[in-house]
Structure 1
Amino acid sequence: MTDTTHNEYTLTCRFSSFDTTVDVIFNNTVDTINDCQKKNYEGFISKQDYLVPEILQQVFEYYKKSYPDYYQGWSYGNQLTKQQIEENLPTPTNAMNLKKFIEPLSVYIADNKNCEEGTFGIYFDCTWDIKSSLGVVIKKWKVAEVGTGDIAFLF
């Protein structure tokens, strides 16, 4: 499927570890994907189970550092109890506990000119940051960066 208004070629694939389907968006690609983009698409599909533990661990490390700021934001001016805040902003305990608070929505693969094998971004919805969401950048098949959602497509 091609979205000519945004110059994006889009496919979908199963993200088994999260029991969902995600859009795979090829940035600035209209008609066809090149070999590098195809390798990243196929590599994501075949290596996702291998990548998920590292993704979760790196998301946890990012979350743990950011938690005090998020907590301050959630509690500032709100009448929410700690238990109500915990429903969306859990106390950081371990990586696996965070999995139920994130949901992958899209995988972004660079255009054919900037494509590098093993490099792409994953955009997640997350309960603790409904405005900026969560992004993970994969380079050389390893987590290179975790941050707000925009890094998933601006890598």
Structure 2
Amino acid sequence: MNEYKWAGDAPNMLRWLGEMDKHARSNENPPYVSDYYKGECCLECGAEQEALKFLRKSYEANEEYLFTRSPKVAEFFNAHLAEPKILSKFEDEGYEDFSFSLRLEYFGKALEQEGEFRYTFLDEDGEETDEPSRMHSNAIEFLKQNQEEILTGILAEILKNYPKWQEIYDYPSETKSDFMPGISTPQELSELLELQNIYILDSAKIGFEFSCSWDIEHGLGVITRKGKVVNIGEVEVALMAI
């Protein structure tokens, strides 16, 4: 789906979005959340009319939700309202990019990605900060020195949970091989996962945000403590300092 989105091929992107709607967990969120996500994807794809259609459906069901997400989407939709809202939230905040770049050779090789990854420091309140503490710096150094052990543990934990997730998502047989194929080794996960961001919570806890083929909307989050996986679930897990 992402490949079609990046290629600007809206019909095929929407076709695969429709296939994703068939998995068993697709109805856990209110419809306006799904409509928003489809609208956001269409906007990224360059299909503005399709984006507007889905975003309008989301807005009609919940007028507030759309304006709590991406500033780009909010500004796009606001320009098409008969009575545009004053987007003070987006105008007042600078939306600074607090992420940094980190080279992790083993991660790049094992995940079949470029070896350059983005990471973000989170303060005690879970907010992004560009002023890391000594604990944050220690965590980065620990990650660099122990990256093979850390990623091996993460992939092993994902593989252990994968059969259970297959049952939960319950993809139809005709699309299962595209989204959640049968796998038996951690190496095969490189075809299904992409590391999006790393969150440095404190000296011991590091969160990992993945996109995954079986749930592009919610993604996959992992928390490690001293290099060991302590929590795994949807992407929000990567931000939780448990």
Give the TM-score normalised by structure 1.
0.78
CA distance in 2, matches of 1:66, 1:29: 31
% same residue: 21
Aligned partner of 1:25 in structure 2 is 120
1:144 and 2:233 matched: no
CA 1:105–1:46: 2 relative to 1, 3 Å: same
Paired residue for 1:35, among 134, 149, 155?
A: 134
CA distance in 1, matches of 2:164, 2:128: 36
Q: What are the superposed Cα offsets for residues 51-108 of structure 1, whole Å, 9 maximum, x if unpaired? A: 12111110111222111111x2x32xxxx72xx4212211142322222211111001
Q: For residues 16-75 of structure 1, what are the alpha-carbon distances to aligned partners after superposition, in whole Å with 9 as ceiling and x for unaligned?
A: 2233322101123544211000111122122111212111110111222111111x2x32
Q: Secondary structure at the match of 2:120?
A: strand
Bigger share in strand? 1
State the match for 1:93 in structure 2.
Answer: 184
Greater length-normalized contact order (CA 8 Å, ≥ 6 residues apart)? 1
How many Å separate the matches in 1 of 2:129 and 2:199?
Answer: 14
Aligned length in residues = 139
Structure 2 unmatched ranges of 5 or more: 1-92
Larger Rg: 2
Equivalent runs, 1:51-130 vs 2, <5 Å: 51-70=150-169, 72=170, 74-75=171-172, 81=174, 84-110=175-201, 115=202, 117-130=203-216
Secondary structure at the counterpart of residue 90 of structure 1: coil
Provide the rounded CA distance (Å) in 2 between the counterparts of 1:101 and 1:88.
8
Q: CA deviation at 1:9?
A: 3.0
Give TM-score scaled by structure 2 length.
0.52
Query: What's the secondary structure of 1:61's corresponding residue?
Result: helix
Deviation of 1:147 (Å): 1.0
Of 103, 113, 121, the residue aligned with 1:14 is 103
Residue 197 of structure 2 aligns to a residue in which SS? strand
CA root-mean-square deviation: 2.1
Whole-angstrom distance in 1 between the partners of 2:129 and 2:205: 20
Question: 1:49 and 2:144 equivalent?
Answer: no
Conserved? CA contact 2:223–2:240, under 8 Å: no
Going by fraction, where is helix more abundant, 1 or 2?
A: 2
Kept in 2: contact 1:11–1:24 (CA 8 A)? yes
TM-aligned CA deviation for residue 15 of structure 1 = 3.2
